[in-house]
């Protein structure tokens, strides 16, 4: 293959545009191999954020054009991930082995924050990352039930630290594994936030690209203390399109702004209902609110998740949709959401060097 052909291949790859690419693949320095041997074009990418679904789209979009320009019989595509560690708030509390922490919060209870956190964590893993999930929702630690791990308790090899509970490849810990739900509910502010921070610090996390934290709902003292103490890379706010939830979502954005945690964007859950008989989309809780909210606060509407029985049933059965039905369109929605969040985190953030990245307390 001539040098010209190779530069044409690179130009075609660089011309690929997608909402997850604020810089193109050349500018990202993501093209690590580009060779033609015996009619086989080998393309290897290394990406700094989870990107598997968009990688599939890239292949479909440019595959034919690449084959035409190189006359290759076949393209051998591959992707690896070297997920970047990004600057975070409260750096002095950085947790060993964890590159990036994404907090999932909501101004109001019951909007689907835990549902989103669980499916998002699994989707980030599906998209190529090593992922953990910490359930910090003291008022309703529902993640063990959603992952089917409700009867498990973390082991402590040294009576100080806890081994995470592994579920579908995720390293997890939850207040729900440790205390009876009713006991946790009565904890007062300082006690609750102290306990949650201790769980974060005392879990023996394996090396993780992303730790997703399911925060307690609301914007009170517990949430503020956590936001001021957890080494957070970015927050995502879950809301429904209902006015009352949107008002509370605003409080969430304001709280994170106050403590200098970037809000990566807003996820609108229960956005619409798809009629099981005719496929009609109905905006049960109203429409357009989350998009307006995002615009007003100069942030992004990251995705819209429909209200659907399947999502609830799968969680009630302890096998989230992303795991139990990977080909379901809802899993696709979560996978795309995961790519979007990982990319926004990267492009809105600042890469930090690994030596300070792995500093432990």
Ligand X SMILES: Nc1ncnc2c1ncn2[C@@H]1O[C@H](COP(=O)(O)OP(=O)(O)OP(=O)(O)O)[C@@H](O)[C@H]1O
Residue nearest to ligand X (CB): 112
Secondary structure (DSSP) of 7-73: HHHHHHHHT---TT-SS-TTTTT-EEEEEEETTEEEEEEEESS--HHHHHHHHHHHHHHHHHHHT-S
Examine residue 217 and tell whether it contacts ligand X (CB under 6 A). yes
CB of 217: closest distance to ligand X in angstroms?
Answer: 4
Each residue 312-351 as x (binds ligand X by CB under 6 A) or -, in order, gives: x--x------------------------------------
Q: Min. distance of Cβ 309 from ligand X in angstroms? A: 6
Least Å from the CB of residue 116 to ligand X: 7
Site string for ligand X, 116-145 (x = CB under 6 A): ---------------------x-xx-x---
Q: Is 184 in the site for ligand X (CB under 6 A)?
A: no
Site for ligand X in 242-301 (CB under 6 A): 269-270
Question: Is there binding between residue 304 and ligand X (CB under 6 A)?
Answer: no
Least distance to ligand X, CB of residue 106, Å: 5
Residue 74 CA: distances (Å) to CA of 36, 78, 98, 266, 278: 10, 13, 38, 40, 41
Residues in contact with ligand X, counted by CB under 6 A, come to a total of 21
Residue placing its CB nearer to ligand X in the complex, 66 or 120:
120
Q: How far apart are the C-alpha atoms of 119 and 141, rounded to whole Å?
A: 15
| Binding segment toward ligand X, per CB under 6 A, in 107-115, 158-166, 190-198, 337-345 | 107-115
- Burial class of residue 9, CB neighbours in 10 A (0-12, 13-18, 19+): buried
- How many CB atoms sit inside 10 A of residue 356's CB? 11
Does 113 help bind ligand X (rule: CB under 6 A)?
Answer: yes
Q: H helices of the chain, where?
A: 3-14, 52-70, 113-126, 143-147, 175-178, 181-185, 189-202, 221-229, 243-258, 289-296, 309-316, 321-324, 329-348, 354-357
Report whether 113 belongs to an annotated binding site.
yes
Is residue 20 at the binding interface for ligand X, with CB under 6 A as the rule?
no
Report the C-alpha gap between 338 and 332 in whole angstroms.
10
Of 294, 311, 333, 338, which lies in the binding site for ligand X, with binding defined by CB under 6 A?
Answer: 311
- Residues within the annotated binding site for ATP? 107-114
């Amino acid at each position: 293959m001539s040098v010209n052909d190779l530069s044409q291949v690179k130009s075609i790859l660089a011309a690929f545009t997608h909402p997850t690419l604020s810089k193109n693949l050349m500018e990202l320095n993501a093209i690590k191999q580009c060779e033609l041997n015996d009619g086989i074009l080998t393309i290897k990418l290394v990406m700094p954020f989870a990107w598997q679904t968009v990688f599939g789209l890239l292949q479909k979009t440019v595959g034919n054009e690449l084959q035409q320009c190189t006359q290759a019989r076949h393209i051998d595509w591959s992707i690896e991930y070297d997920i970047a560690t990004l600057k975070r708030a409260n750096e002095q509390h950085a947790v060993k082995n964890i590159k990036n922490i994404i907090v999932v919060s909501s101004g109001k209870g019951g909007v689907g924050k835990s549902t989103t956190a669980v499916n998002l964590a699994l989707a980030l893993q599906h998209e190529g990352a090593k992922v953990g999930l910490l359930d910090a929702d003291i008022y309703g630690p529902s993640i063990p039930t959603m992952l089917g791990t409700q009867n498990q308790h973390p082991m402590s090899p040294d009576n100080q630290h806890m081994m995470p509970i592994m579920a579908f490849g995720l390293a997890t810990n939850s207040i729900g594994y440790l205390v009876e739900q009713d006991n946790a509910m009565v904890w007062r502010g300082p006690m609750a936030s102290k306990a949650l921070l201790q769980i974060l610090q005392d879990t023996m996390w394996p090396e993780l690209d992303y730790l997703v934290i399911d925060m307690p709902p609301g914007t009170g003292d517990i949430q503020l203390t956590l936001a001021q103490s957890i080494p957070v890379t970015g927050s995502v706010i879950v809301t429904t399109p209902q006015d009352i939830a949107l008002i509370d979502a605003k409080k969430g954005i304001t709280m994170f702004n106050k403590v200098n945690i970037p809000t990566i964007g807003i996820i609108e859950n229960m956005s619409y209902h798809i009629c099981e008989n005719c496929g009609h989309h109905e905006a049960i809780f109203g429409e357009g609110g989350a998009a307006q909210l995002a615009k007003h606060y100069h942030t992004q509407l990251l995705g819209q998740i429909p209200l659907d029985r399947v999502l609830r049933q799968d969680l009630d059965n302890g096998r989230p949709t992303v795991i139990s039905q990977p080909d379901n369109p809802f899993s696709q929605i979560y996978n795309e959401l995961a790519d979007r969040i990982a990319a926004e985190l990267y492009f809105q953030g600042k890469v930090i060097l690994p030596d300070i990245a792995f500093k432990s307390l």
